[in-house]
Amino acid sequence: MRTERVSGNGQADRHEPRVVVGAAIIAGGRVLACARAAPPEVAGRWEFPGGKVEPGESETAALVRECAEELAVRVEIGDRVGRDVRMAHGRSVLKVYAARLLHDDQPTALEHSALRWLSAAELDTVDWLPADAPIVAALRPLLAPR
């Protein structure tokens, strides 16, 4: 996706949207949901662990880094889940990938206020960030029924 913006000198600049990646970590038919601790506007809303892809970094590398920073776990990144979700009027785009834990690592909430493992039946029991709605819908069939 490309957005075009006219800068102060009247010339058109092209801006690629900032890519935010999220990891749908699946284990035992459940997915890990994380409650944001900050900023205040979104604190308490639920998301997939992840964050902004740094310049020159691959999406997979960003996910591995973010999962280590936020949860102290090592992960293997799998297939995309759902579609690109445009955020912030096209200034950023959310891309979620399935992931699995490596080496029996267990997530610790280093940056989130809470973690929950959700089955398909429990997906709607948390207040997801709005952009995550289409991802959660696409995720449902990937989780084994209870």
Tokens of 140: 């449902």
Distance of CA 97 to the CA centre of its chain: 8
Q: Is 7 or 37 the residue whose CB approaches ligand 8DG more closely?
A: 37
> Strand, helix or coil at 145?
coil
Cβ-closest position to ligand 8DG: 51
Footprint of ligand 8DG on 73-132 (CB under 6 A): 87, 94, 129, 131-132
Quick count: other Cβ atoms within 10 Å of Cβ 113? Answer: 12
**Separation between Cα atoms, residue 12 and residue 40, nearest integer Å:** 35
Selected range binding ligand 8DG among 3-11, 47-55, 74-82, 119-127, rule: CB under 6 A: 47-55
Contact set with ligand 8DG (CB under 6 A): 20, 22, 47-48, 50-52, 87, 94, 129, 131-132
